[in-house]
Amino acid sequence: MSTSKIAGVDVSTEHFIDGKRVASKQTFANCSPIDGKHLADVSAGGAAEVDAAVAAARRAFPKWAGLGPDGRHRVLKKFAQAILDHGKELAAVETADNGSLLMGNLARVIPRAALNIEFFADRALKLGHDQIDSPEVVNHVRYDPAGVAALITPWNGPFMLTTWKVGPALAAGDTVVVKPPEWAPLTCSMMADLANEAGIPAGVLNVVQGIGEEAGAALAAHPDIDRLSFTGSTDTAKLIGQSTARSLTPVSFELGGKSPYIVCADADFDAAAQTAAGQYLNAGQVCLAGTRLLVDASVADEFHSKFRAAVGHMTVGDPREKSTRVGPLITPEHFKRVEGFVDRALKSGVKPLWGGKRSSVGELYFEPTLLEGARQDMEIVQREVFGPVLTWQTFRDEDELVKLANGTCYGLAAMVFSKNQERAMRIASRVTAGTVWVNCFFVRELAAPFGGSRDSGIGREGGNWSFDFYCDVKNIAVLKGSFA
C-alpha cells in the first residue's frame, strides 16, 4: 500500500474500494497551503474506479440494509469512537492538507465529526414507528434504505462535511461511495481506515479519489446510484444536476452563499463586532459566512469602530500556531481568484477600509479585507468570493434592509443582531435563507433542518430531513378490520 507521512501520520494515498486499497496508474499532486510543501501523490481515479466502487457498494447493500437500525447502530458507534481515538492525527493531517486552524480542528471539528456519526446512528433507532390514523385505514410509515449513495465533498471542511453525509447515509442503511476533494483528500482516506477498523463491512464505505471533472463526473453520471449529495459551488452543482437528471437520481445540494450580516441600531455592538470578525476564520473559506455587512446607518460609525478593534485580533499566520486566527487560502489558483475579485472591485471605485492585498506572512495568505462603496449590482456584492473579503453597506429602514439582504441569487444563511425580539424575528422571517442566526453564528444543531434556497441549494438535511433523503419513505395503508 502506498502511503505518505503527513504531520507525522502515515496516510494511504490509494483508493479504498470493497475493503481494500486500490492504486491507479495516474496520480495528482497534493500540496499544503501552509507553505506549498508537497505532501503526496494521490491516486487519481476515473470511470473504472468509480464502476468498481459502485459495484462493491451494490453488492454490500443487501447485507448492510438487512442489519437494521440496531445492527448498524452498534458498528457506527464504534466508528464514531475510532474518530475520537484518532482525533489528534486527524486534526494534524486536516491542518496540513487544507490550512484550517489546528486548534479549531482539535476542539470542534473532529468531535463534531464523531457526533455526526453517533447522532444519526441514534436517530435511526427512532424511525419507522409513525402511525397515521384515518377513518378507513391505519397508515404505517417506513424508512427503507434507498441503495447506493454518492457523496461528493468539499475541501474547506473535508472531514467534518464528509461525516455529515456519511453518518445519515450509513445509518439509513445505504452503502456509499465518497469522492473527496482533490485539494484536500487525505483525512477522507484516513476515514476509510477508521471505518474498516470499526468493523464496517467491505463495500459499505468506499472512497474514490480524483479530479472532479474525471472521478466526480463519472460518479454523478453513474446509472446505478440511488442518491447523490454534493457540497460545493453552484456552477458545479448545475453540471451534476444535468448528469443525475438522466437517471432521475434524487440530489441534495448545499452550495455557495453571499450571506447578509445584519446589525440593527439596537444590537449589542460588542457581540456583533466580535462575531463579525469571526467571519474571517478559515480565511473566509466558509460558504455560510456573513460576507455582506448591512449596518443601520444611524450607528454605522460606532459599530465600525468596534468592528475594526475586533478585527485587530484576527492574526494572520501559520494555522498550527495557537495565536493564528486567519490561515492560508487553499491553492495558488484560488488565491488568484480571490485577489481578482478584490482587484476588479478596487478598479471599479470600491475603497478598502482595511486589507485588500496579500499578507506578508506568505504566498497564499490574504489580509482580512473590508470594502466600502460597492453598488448592489457589482460583482463583489453579487458573487461568492470565498476568501477573507467582506463588503460594507448601510440601510436606513427595514424595507431597504430586506431589499439589500435578498438582493443576490443566493439564500444559504443570514445573521441578525438586535436586542428587540419582535424586530429580529420579523427581519429573519423576511430574509430568504435556509438558516438565519439571531445574535449568534455557526450554531449547527444536528436535529434541525439545514440547506439553502435559490442558488444556494436543493433540499434539507439534518434530523429526520436527512432520512427523508437517504431513505425510500414508504406508507403502508392497512384497511381497518381486514385481519381476522
**Which residue blocks in 203-263 are alpha helix, DSSP H?**
217-220, 234-245
Cα 272 to Cα 106: distance, rounded to the nearest angstrom: 26
CB 373 within 8 A of CB 349: yes
Sheet strands side by side (includes 413-417)? 351-354, 369-372, 389-395, 292-296, 260-263, 413-417, 435-438
For 191, half-sphere exposure in the C-beta direction (CA atoms, 13 angstrom radius) is 33
CB 115 within 8 A of CB 334: no
Residue 146: all three cell numbers together: 434507498
CB 156 within 8 A of CB 289: no
E strand segments, 204-321: 205-207, 227-231, 251-254, 260-263, 292-296
CB 208 within 8 A of CB 177: yes
**Catalytic choice (49, 94, 182, 287):** 287
Angle between helices 269-277 and 300-311 (to 10 degrees): 50
Residue 41: all three cell numbers together: 501523490
User: Pairing between strand 292-296 and 351-354?
Assistant: unpaired
Active-site residue, 213 included? no
CB 6 within 8 A of CB 41: no
Cα 457 to Cα 166: distance, rounded to the nearest angstrom: 19
The Cα angle at residue 249 between residues 61 and 252, in degrees rounded to 5: 95
Cα 286 to Cα 106: distance, rounded to the nearest angstrom: 18
Give the contacts of 189 (CB within 8 A, at least 6 positions apart).
11, 12, 13, 14, 16, 180, 207, 209
Residue 236: all three cell numbers together: 458545479
E strand segments, 162-226: 175-179, 205-207
Bridge partners, residue 354, by sequence = 370
Active-site residue, 321 included? no
Residue 420: all three cell numbers together: 428587540
CB 34 within 8 A of CB 319: yes
**Catalytic choice (94, 254, 339, 461):** 254
- Residues designated as active site: 254, 287
